[in-house]
A and B are shown apart, each in its own frame.
Chain A
């Protein structure tokens, strides 16, 4: 199965980090990503630019409206994601638990919904 691992962390907290703290976190992410690529579990993944760069789009009654910012104000924001291949939820949870962001933020584990055969 494929699972999308959504990484939620506090942007405010991230912004307050020192350069060396950011460098060591980046190194942790690099190691983790290499690990899951080697294990054949990596399908896709990226960091996301902060929610200040976000645009929300809606179409209502045929009218498109694009507005500034994310849909909802929350304590933690979506900051990145991995798409992984895992045998089952336990394996996906084990991968999610190794994401560096799991130690200060939270990871939402969602199975993808492939088109019905």
Chain B
């Protein structure tokens, strides 16, 4: 094997094993910083040894073992530690480690990775910290890559990570999968972080940068990992399906000029069929788990009905209306109500949909939400009331901040016929 081939093989192993190695080292060494340092040393040792000796049969166990040994060496060398502490730390590190690497199987690593995810997404940390820690520690992205994704400087991101790790240490956030009584509540927090990473990459704000596809890819990778670690969980399956079905449409949703292309106008031949096929299977599995109805699964089922239609005319709108009604019972929100109204307009017509939106607006919570006014404009236009439609679109335009959405609204206004038909 020549050096560059070996380097590449090592790089592949690193990318695949980085999260697992770190997760177990954190448990063995008791804190993030020592674990990261140990992992770095283990990777350096691998780069030196593997090209000549070959990649070990269980590279993950090798890296953990090596990292642990390096950490213990470092603790021994470290003059700052007084003898008593030194002995205690070595004894505890050795006792813990004795139980691990050699006979470690995938379930041990899996448990550690789950611990790591729950720790990074602990409710006592801020939302910013959740995302930063998850991408850095679970996905193994560099600090620079995480900083770029969130449009902050590398220094700012590094400080955010340091603060978060300090909070984990100082507040005594456990490196544990939560007990059963807390599990359901906490898994929803984790899924919200994963979906947050996805939507950050999928947002209209940016959405076309290279890094956005990367973020969506990482979120899907996290979804797959959670599905592996928590099999047959309806919420996990539903979220993974939802992300795949959205991501499948990525190539068709923005024009070359950066304009948003609405679902109904997308070139359906550009959709990624492999992701759609996988997403559809996952939705069915999510919905078939008895006793667990997850709002992610319901949203994925809605996305599935959209991608199942070869032509937009084939879309099964009555079923979509039904699913939005299920979603409204599970998680009522103005956004869901608005989407429900749009689906209703496809089944019962714009007059009924306009009633729904007007009743939503009358409750006053969302009068500043531009999409509400945009939907009103659309319904009024369909009802042949262009003057009122123009008024509604103008309200939407006043509130919308994203340039692609504003262009879309201006195009709608320009496309209106002059005067009322009535």
Q: Please give the residue numbers on chain A whose beta carbons come within 8 Å of chain B beta carbons, in ascending order.
A: 1, 3, 86-90, 92-93, 109, 111, 117
Contacts and interface: CB of A to CB of B under 8 A. Distances in A.
B173 A89 contact: yes
Contacts of B51: none
A90 B176 contact: yes
A93 B170 contact: no
A39 B317 CA distance: 57
Contacts of B176: 88, 90
A90 B122 CA distance: 9
B79 interface: no
Q: Is the interface of A mostly helix, strand, loop or mixed?
A: mixed
B170 A88 contact: no
Interface of B: 85, 122, 124, 170-174, 176, 178-179, 182
Q: Which of A88, A90, A93 is packed against the most chain B CB atoms within 10 Å?
A: A90
Contacts of B171: 89, 109, 111
B173 A88 contact: yes
B174 A88 contact: yes
26 contacts: A1-B172, A3-B172, A86-B172, A87-B174, A88-B172, A88-B173, A88-B174, A88-B176, A89-B122, A89-B124, A89-B171, A89-B172, A89-B173, A89-B174, A90-B173, A90-B174, A90-B176, A90-B178, A90-B179, A90-B182, A92-B172, A93-B124, A109-B171, A111-B170, A111-B172, A117-B85
A90 B186 CA distance: 11
A3 B176 CA distance: 19
A87 B175 CA distance: 11
A109 B122 CA distance: 15
Contacts of A3: 172
A92 B176 CA distance: 14
B89 to A, nearest CB: 12
Q: Which of B171, B176, B179 is packed against the most chain A CB atoms within 10 Å?
A: B171
A98 to B, nearest CB: 13
Contacts of B173: 88-90
B374 to A, nearest CB: 38
A11 B233 CA distance: 45
A84 B182 CA distance: 21
A109 to B, nearest CB: 8
Nearest to B168: A89
Contacts of B182: 90
Contacts of A93: 124
5 tightest CB-CB pairs across the interface, nearest first? A88-B174, A88-B172, A89-B172, A1-B172, A89-B173
Nearest to B88: A117
Contacts of A117: 85
A89 B168 CA distance: 9
A111 B170 CA distance: 7
A3 B171 CA distance: 9
A111 B178 CA distance: 20
A81 to B, nearest CB: 17
A111 B124 CA distance: 13
Contacts of A92: 172
A87 B174 CA distance: 9
A16 to B, nearest CB: 30
Given A86-B172, A111-B170, 8 more contacts: A88-B173, A88-B176, A89-B124, A89-B171, A90-B179, A90-B182, A93-B124, A111-B172
A89 B174 CA distance: 7
Nearest to A2: B172
A99 B172 CA distance: 20
A3 B124 CA distance: 14
B88 to A, nearest CB: 10
Q: Which of B171, B172, B176, B182 is packed against the most chain A CB atoms within 10 Å?
A: B172
A2 to B, nearest CB: 10
A111 B166 CA distance: 13
Nearest to B178: A90
A90 B174 CA distance: 7
A1 B182 CA distance: 21
Nearest to B85: A117
Q: Which of A1, A87, A93 is packed against the most chain B CB atoms within 10 Å?
A: A93
B260 to A, nearest CB: 42
